[in-house]
Amino acid sequence: MSNIRVRFAPSPTGHLHIGGARTALFNYLFARHNNGIFILRIEDTDTSRSTEEYIEAIIEGMKWLKLSWDEGPYRQTERFDAYKSYIEKLLQEGKAYYCYCTPEELEQRRKEAIEKGMPQKYAGRCRSLTEPVSDKPFAVRFKMPQEGTTVVTDLIRGVVEFDNSQLEDLVIMRSDGTPTYNFVVVVDDIDMKITHVIRGDDHLNNTPKQMHIYRAFGWEPPQFAHLPMILGSDKTRLSKRHGATSVMAYKETGYLPDALVNYLVRLGWSHGDQEVFTRDELIKYFTIENIGKSAAVFNPEKLLWLNSQYIINEDTKSLAEMAMPFLIKEGIIFEGQQIDIEWLSKAVNTLKERSRTLVELAASLKYYILEYVDIDPKAKEKFLKPENLNSLSELREILSGVSDFTAIELERVFHNFADERSIKLGAIAQPVRVAITGGTASPGLFEVLEIVGKEKILKRLSKVIEG
């Protein structure tokens, strides 16, 4: 085990989304690659926006993607005592101070600053108070340096310099006694011995502030790696306008978790030209050096393509098992219905190459499972004309006498049938396909017939013949 320790630190103010999942994945892969520790930390200090439901949803999303963590979930709301003692320490050492400015005063001064074209940061009125003011509510502010520069040497972005004159004395505890985000992140990262902070680049501007807080406690900041943004196809920040952004929406629409993981990793990271990776390969190859600097563009078509690749390569039986909840949801089978998984696997095997999602797979499995199928009206008009029905009736008669109901035998029967009547095979095969599957496209007909089975085939043909 190395000493590398990383964390995914979501704020539970929404579901696990594409961007958050990518951050979680990169932390997970970095930890696994380096034999380190991956921590899950729920940043729920903003109690007005955090909910238990979102905490559960985030955990559910992580589990679905199989991003297992080694420690946690820790919750910031359970660590208020720790934050208090860290604040005490800063106050005692004169690195933080009580601020009695009221929100109204601050607002007034902000307005004045705007009018005068001055910077809007806190001007430091309470910084030089030497005695506490009794009976007035107070916040606690951290003394930021006001001169010089702060250099962030980011593992992805390189050297980024910040002018300290831009930094204001940060409120680290509000007047209601709750600690603030930039402060608790640092305390947690210190207590949890975080060595690398891998997070979205929307936090890059917070980094210089956090670095000063680390140093005030006598700690060297961890290494930072700020991930490039994820954009939609129109090059604006990825949002719901670009399609589903919640991870669980992909579960519901029939994506395989490994396909989504594979897609997410390529949003910013690469390994030569390789597109499809096993989990073991990802762990083996993952390094921060191979994360690009430029923004990644979310491409739903590529994700769909990857999903189809994962479906093709998935073990057929486990694919059949994965299809079950979708079959239930579509009303094709009912909850608790006994279904022979070996038989279902055979059906799945014929559909693997033709299904891009589990939803598409389940929709096609319908004609294997149900007694009768709905027939597409256009296909009916074209292929189930009265003259075809006579042939179908003759064929049904022959099929009812076939005892070896296998693809090979059925192929022979169909060829004989066509030869004897001097018609093309398609002239009988296509009407049968429509009668059995409800449409004009399906896997190889004889295989379908074998798997659907004699009894259901005869029933469906009768129904079509009788009209």
Q: Cβ of 180: how many Cβ atoms within 10 Å?
A: 18
Q: What are the CA-CA distances from residue 389 to residues 204, 377, 380, 421, 465 (Å)? A: 71, 16, 11, 15, 6
**10 in contact with ligand GLU (CB under 6 A):** yes
Place of tokens 């991956």: 38
**43 in contact with ligand GLU (CB under 6 A):** yes
Query: For ligand GLU, which is the closer residue by CB, 11 or 165?
Result: 11
**203 in contact with ligand GLU (CB under 6 A):** yes
Among 5, 15, 17, 199, binds ligand GLU (CB under 6 A): 199
We find the least distance from the C-beta atom of residue 197 to ligand GLU, in angstroms, to be 6
**9 in contact with ligand GLU (CB under 6 A):** yes
Q: Which stretch binds ligand GLU (CB under 6 A): 4-12, 242-250, 332-340, 383-391?
A: 4-12
We find the least distance from the C-beta atom of residue 239 to ligand GLU, in angstroms, to be 15
- Between helices 18-33 and 257-265, what is the axis angle to 10°? 80
Query: For ligand GLU, which is the closer residue by CB, 21 or 259?
Result: 21
**58 in contact with ligand GLU (CB under 6 A):** no
Supply the Cα-derived Rg of the chain in whole angstroms: 32
Give catalytic status of residue 63 as yes or no: no
Query: For ligand GLU, which is the closer residue by CB, 11 or 393?
Result: 11
From residue 150 to residue 189, the character string flagging contacts with ligand GLU as x (rule: CB under 6 A) and all else as - is -----------------------------------x----
Backbone angles phi and psi of 267, in degrees to 5: -80, 75
We find the least distance from the C-beta atom of residue 14 to ligand GLU, in angstroms, to be 9
**431 in contact with ligand GLU (CB under 6 A):** no
Query: CA 100 to CA 66: how far, in whole Å?
Result: 48
37-42: strand order across its sheet? 5-8, 37-42, 71-75
Burial class (CB in 10 A: 0-12, 13-18, 19+), 86: buried
From residue 323 to residue 362, the character string flagging contacts with ligand GLU as x (rule: CB under 6 A) and all else as - is ----------------------------------------
User: Among 350, 352, 374, 369, which residue's Cα sits nearest to residue 447?
Assistant: 350
Residue 345: half-sphere exposure toward Cβ, Cα within 13 Å: 9
Which residues lie near ligand GLU (CB under 6 A)? Answer: 9-11, 43, 185, 197, 199, 203
Active site residues: 240
